[in-house]
Every structure is written in C-alpha cells, then in structure tokens.
Amino acid sequence: MNMTDIFYGIGSFFQWTFQFMKPIGFGVNLFFWLVIISLVVTWLFMQRKFNKEAEANNKLA
C-alpha cells in the first residue's frame, strides 16, 4: 500500500459522501442561514437589554 492508494481512497470516500448532498439541495444552506439569523437577532435583543441595564446603573463607559 502506497500513498497513491491512500489519496485515491480518500477521494473515493468524498465522492461517495457528496452523492448524498445533491438530493438535499438548498435545504442545508437555508437551515444554516436561519440559524445564523436567529442567533444574530437573539444577540441584538440581549445587547439592547444589557445596554438598558447599564444605562440604568450608570455603568456605561
């Protein structure tokens, strides 16, 4: 067994795994976009709450 066999084996494995991505289509991208958008919106609401709390306690820098 030499390095060529290893690299061809890795390549065959990736080709096999990418076959499952075609039927999924844009669904994975949509899922990640929704997760990112929901996390950003949550972060913005938390930041607004923290800013109000800091302003009330006179702890703004």
Q: What is the pLDDT of residues 19-47, one digit of tens each?
A: 888 888 888 889 999 999 999 999 999 99
The one-character DSSP state at 33 is H
pLDDT at residue number 42: 98
Q: Is 22 helix (H, G, I), strand (E, B) or coil?
A: helix
Distance CA 61, CA 59 (A): 6
pLDDT band at 61 (very low <50, low <70, confident <90, very high): low
How far is residue 27's CA from residue 20's CA, in Å, rounded to a whole number?
12
Domain ranges of the chain: 25-61
- Write down the pLDDT at residue 36: 98
Task: State the pTM of this model.
Answer: 0.58
